[in-house]
């Protein structure tokens, strides 16, 4: 005979726990790697727009 209804739900819950674990782990890895990278990019952009000495240059777009 096949699995009972209770066994089916237990198996389904274990599968969703695994999916939830992978989703949370992926989100944590994404945050850990993207935050320092965004700081690096913003520092490069600030240096490009304001120069190394921090003085402001006015930029006009035509």
How would you write the pLDDT of the chain (62 residues) with one tens digit per residue?
A: 455 656 666 776 777 888 899 999 999 999 999 999 999 999 888 887 776 555 555 666 65
DSSP state of 53: T
In a domain, 7, yes or no: yes
End-to-end CA separation in angstroms for the chain: 77
Q: Is residue 10 part of a domain?
A: yes
Please state the domain count of the chain.
1
pLDDT at site 34: 96
Q: Which of 12, 3, 7 is nearest to 20 (CA)?
A: 12
Residue 3 in any domain: the answer is yes
Instruction: Return d(Cα 37, Cα 20) in angstroms, integer.
Output: 26
Q: What pLDDT, on a 0 to 100 scale, did the predictor assign at position 32?
A: 95
pLDDT at res. 26: 97
- Residue 25 is part of which domain span? 1-44
pTM to 2 decimals? 0.50
In a domain? residue 59: no
């Amino acid at each position: 005979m096949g699995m009972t209804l209770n066994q089916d739900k237990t198996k389904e819950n274990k599968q969703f726990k695994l999916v939830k674990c992978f989703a949370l782990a992926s989100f944590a890895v994404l945050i850990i790697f993207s935050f320092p990278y965004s700081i690096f990019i913003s520092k490069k952009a600030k240096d490009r727009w304001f120069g190394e000495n921090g003085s402001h240059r006015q930029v006009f777009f035509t």
